[in-house]
Amino acid sequence: MASHLETTARVLSEQLSGLDLGGRLALVAGASGRAVFTTSLGIEDQVITAAIGLNRLPIEVATLDTGRLFKETAELIGETEDRFGIEIVRFHPAKDEVDAYASRYGLNGFYESVEARHACCGVRKLQPLARALEGASFWITGLRRGQSGNRAETPFAEYDAERNLIKINPLADWDIGTLQAYVADNAVPVNPLHARGYPSIGCEPCTRAIKPGEPERAGRWWWENDEKRECGLHVPETALPSLNSSSL
């Protein structure tokens, strides 16, 4: 199965490279299997949501409502649903897992160690993501090569061995100028935090505005020293400290 999906991903990546955004999403929507797009409501994801809604594509749209989102992000969910006539399904962390995390590390223990931070991401993001992608054949994301150094080689399609599905990155080759032009041309609502220096927006306690000249994702988990810091959504879970509930 893995070999077949790897081959399919390589073929898809080549096909997607020659299409515009609408064509890329339509190709995935027309393939055999369920397609799920997970949005964090950042500008990349708002563009993909707009393309799905404006083209009436049969792609499910979901978001991970971690319980620690910025107020502006939470408000944008409803605004986006109204603008494009779609439903964004919210996936929340399990209360018992959040309570177990807080009991071991403290509610804001993620500031104290990388292990604690990854454990929090595991409870609030990875576990809800697993539910969102259950039974999916394709996972659509807003990853771009220009977001950070460790995303510089992002393909249009890739096999996700951990989740045994194909991840689709339809904006892999887009730059910020192209995103902004699409937003302006299609009246796409965007998070007001972008205008306040937040190009990459995650949970409120873990995101700050960036300084002039900093990479786009420098404001995420800024207190950590690892330049390749991630939450685990887009890197193998085995590469991170233990994130499963047994570690809590």
Average pLDDT for 90-112: 96
Average pLDDT for 95-111: 96
Summarised one tens digit per residue, pLDDT across range 125-178 is 999 999 999 999 999 999 999 776 777 889 999 999 999 999 999 999 999 999
Residue 241 CB contacts under 8 Å (≥ 6 apart), including other chains = 114, 115, 118, 119, 247
Q: pLDDT-derived band of residue 231, with 50, 70 and 90 as boundaries?
A: low
Q: pLDDT-derived band of residue 234, with 50, 70 and 90 as boundaries?
A: very low
Average pLDDT for 50-60: 98
Query: Of 183, 213, 181, 220, nearest to 198 (Cα)?
Result: 220
- Exposure string over 219-228, b if 16+ CB within 10 A, otherwise e: bbbeeeeeee
Written in H, E and C, the secondary structure of the chain is CHHHHHHHHHHHHHHHHCCCHHHHHHHHHCCCCCEEEEECCCHHHHHHHHHHHHCCCCCEEEEECCCCECHHHHHHHHHHHHHHCCCEEEECCCHHHHHHHHHHHCCCHHHCCHHHHHHHHHHHHHHHHHHHCCCCCEEECCCCHHHCHHHCCCCCEEEECCCCEEEECCCCCCCHHHHHHHHHHHCCCCCHHHHHCCCCCCEHHHECCCCCCCCCCCCECCCCCCCCCCCCCCCCHHHCCCCCHHHC
Residue 30 CB contacts under 8 Å (≥ 6 apart), including other chains = none
Phi-psi region of 243 (alpha: psi -120 to 50; beta: other; left: phi over 0): alpha
Whole-number Å distance between alpha carbons of 42 and 134? 23
Summarised one tens digit per residue, pLDDT across range 18-51 is 999 999 999 999 999 999 999 999 999 999 999 9
pLDDT of 233 reads: 54
Could you tell me if 49 and 59 are in contact, meaning their C-beta atoms sit under 8 angstroms apart?
Answer: no
- Which residues carry out catalysis? 231
Percent of the chain surpassing pLDDT 90: 80
pLDDT of 152 reads: 81
235 pLDDT more than 60: no
pLDDT of 237 reads: 45
pTM for the complete prediction? 0.87
Average pLDDT for 212-239: 69
62 pLDDT more than 70: yes
